[in-house]
Chain A
Amino acid sequence: MASTGSNSSAPSTDDEATSDVIVGVPVSSQTAAIGEIVRSARVALTRELAGLRGRIVIVDAEAPDGTPGQVERTLGDDRDGLIVLPAQGSLSRGRALRRLFEVVLERGARGVAVIDRTAAVPPEWIANLARPLVDGAFDFVAPRYRRHPFDGALTKSIVQPLFRACFGLRIEQPMATEFGCSRRMLEHVLQTQRWPGDNDQTQIDLWLTTTAVSGGFKVCEALMGPRRRGSRDEAQDLSGTIAHIVGGLFNELERGAAVWHRVRGSAAVPEFGTAPDDPIEAPAVNSSNLLDSFRLGYRELSGVWAEILPPATILELRRLAAAPPQSFRMDDRLWARTIYDFALGHRLRVIARDHLLRSLTPLYLGWLTSLILAGRAAPESAIETRLECTGQAFEDEKPYLISRWRWPERFRPVRFE
């Protein structure tokens, strides 16, 4: 194994070569916070997970950026318990994670906590991700962040409810870039599962979550504090982000169709750890801008939507576009059916996939406007209830998705152009 660092380059004893738990950080570009991340992980391993043999593994996924040099500058000679896997060419996040997982198995660790490269996390949160794995109680740990209900609306409006309805577990962040995996699950994904290739549009993080859920592994959520901006938040524009995230989700639906067709209802997952309960400030949003975007979208893109959505949905969207702000409310069932129709349109390639995904942007902004207008003066709990209703609507409308998925030829969109 090519590596640098005092303990990894030349392990002298079996004790040094093996670990109980590993904290992994895939680094795909220069990371200013690498020093803080390592220090925080070190505190987590020595204080929060005391008594366990822990290592920190940094996977350099981009050759020219000089991550090993940056680590050396930041930490100097203080490289206790640190392993830096130097770049072997430019690696995708998927390949970087695979490399990390192979090291975890080589070192005999009971689990790995993967941390996003963008900013340091408190040691307690790293420990929350790792402890359920080393205790042997769980195989996959997803993070549960403390967020305002308006924050992360794309995840809350599409990813979370669709994952819940299809895979039957209420996980807050099915596509999180921070998670924990047990040795048992790593062996499963590395040895028995077809690892997604670089050209595969599958989101590797979502792929791991769906593999854990559909593979019958024990899943829990680790309570984390307020979410920092992750590496996935760096996308240039909203429509690009939607195309990336929702496209990955729809690909997973295609891959796991045999599994989710059999799933009925949903269950909450156990929570692990404690998180601060400080109130979180609502993000300031200009709802009239969002509403204008939806109306402009309806005016110009209804012809494109008509190739994806049935006429009844287009009619409801027309009514919604004409509604004044005070009565603007997107029905949860309408939203659920719309997303299901887009998922099916994506599967059948009714139009170019990128066009289909990007044309979803005004509809998503319409849903967001509806949430903001309804919850602006309401307490957080009321907005959470509304989000729960959205999730329930996705579950209720799942038979619609299944019937359309199985018999797509029964449906022919009507062209208005």
Chain B
Amino acid sequence: MWEQTSRIFNQAATRITNGLADFLPGVVVFCLIVLVFGILAVAARVLVLRLLRGFDFDQRASQLGLAFLGEWSVAGRPSLALARLLFWTIVILGLLAGLTALDARMPSQFALTIFHYMPDLLAALVIVIVGNILARFLARSVLISAVNMQIQAARLLSIGVKWLVLVLAGAMALEHLHIGRQIVLLAFGILFGGIVLALALAVGLGSKEMVTRSLERQIREAGEDSDKLNHV
């Protein structure tokens, strides 16, 4: 019996030793990959930060309507926020690449799933950034045009356009991320369909006379002004 116990113990010890011997090189490779990616991340962060500061990116970002990037960093600087984003992206990529080296089924599958998801994630990020730039540009266009047309609710129109574009960009980004695809589409359709219908009803039923008077006044005043003063 003692011999039998000893044999089973030896077999178990051998299995564990073999398992450890198989697993340890993976761990070493994992550590090496994480270390290399960590160094890469630090180098990329420093390099990108210097490049962006060299281009006076913080100033240019505010001109391009990218000042919101600064809100992602404690220092409030878009360049720092982008450098940090790059740093953590490389670190996470390193961790995922390291997991595949462990030759374990679960972590490997998880890493591969994340890798497959990356293009969609990047596309969504681009959509959000472009949507933000476009929203700010259009909002300013509408604001200036509305003020020059002497529309009192210029700010309201501008904010409306800004949020319309932002929500549209958000919905498109979520669509790319495959998050709540049906719900987002439905919610978007219901929301904007509802707004348009509500406005149509409000103008058509409630404010018909007010709108007519307002349009008449605007046309009359435009006609009166244009004949009297030559600006050029």
Contacts and interface: CB of A to CB of B under 8 A. Distances in A.
Nearest to B154: A300
B110 interface: no
A43 interface: no
A152 B150 contact: no
Contacts of A239: 144-145, 148
B230 A233 contact: yes
A190 interface: no
A239 B141 CA distance: 12
B176 interface: no
B219 interface: no
B143 interface: yes
B139 to A, nearest CB: 11
Given A232-B232, A304-B143, A351-B140, A237 B155 contact: no
B232 A289 contact: no
B228 A284 contact: yes
A350 B147 CA distance: 20
A245 B224 CA distance: 23
B231 interface: yes
B3 interface: no
B63 A355 contact: no
Interface string B131-153: 00000010011011111101010
B229 interface: yes
Count chain A CB atoms within 10 A of each CB in B62, B155, B229, B232 and give the residue with the most: B232
Interface string A288-331: 01001100110011001001000000000000000000000000
Contacts of A232: 232
A64 B145 CA distance: 33
B141 A361 contact: no
Nearest to B140: A355
Interface in A331-383: 349-352, 355, 358-359, 361-362
Given A300-B155, A358-B148, A362-B148, A153 B229 contact: yes
A237 B232 contact: no
A296 B150 contact: yes
A292 B229 contact: no
A285 interface: yes
A283 B147 contact: no
A286 interface: yes
B225 A152 contact: no
Contacts of B152: 296
A286 B140 contact: no
A297 B232 contact: no
A286 B231 CA distance: 14
Contacts of A4: none
Contacts of A33: none
A4 B71 CA distance: 68
Contacts, number: 76
A292 B137 CA distance: 26
Contact of B143 (A229, A300, A415): A300
A78 B140 CA distance: 56
B147 to A, nearest CB: 5
Interface in B81-112: none
A361 B146 CA distance: 12
A151 interface: yes
A217 to B, nearest CB: 25
A152 B230 CA distance: 5
A241 interface: yes
Contact of A352 (B62, B137, B230): B137
B231 A238 contact: yes
Contacts of A197: none
Interface in A232-265: 232-233, 237-239, 241, 245
Contacts of A412: 59
Contacts of B140: 304, 351-352, 355
Interface in B180-211: none
B63 A241 contact: no
Nearest to B151: A296
B181 to A, nearest CB: 35
A152 B63 contact: no
B167 to A, nearest CB: 21
Contacts of B232: 152, 154-155, 230, 232-233, 241, 245
Contact of A283 (B148, B154, B229): B229
Nearest to A351: B63
Interface in B57-71: 59, 62-63
25 contacts: A152-B230, A152-B231, A152-B232, A153-B231, A238-B148, A239-B145, A241-B231, A241-B232, A283-B229, A283-B230, A289-B221, A292-B150, A293-B150, A296-B147, A296-B152, A297-B147, A300-B147, A304-B143, A350-B63, A355-B140, A358-B144, A358-B145, A359-B144, A362-B147, A412-B59
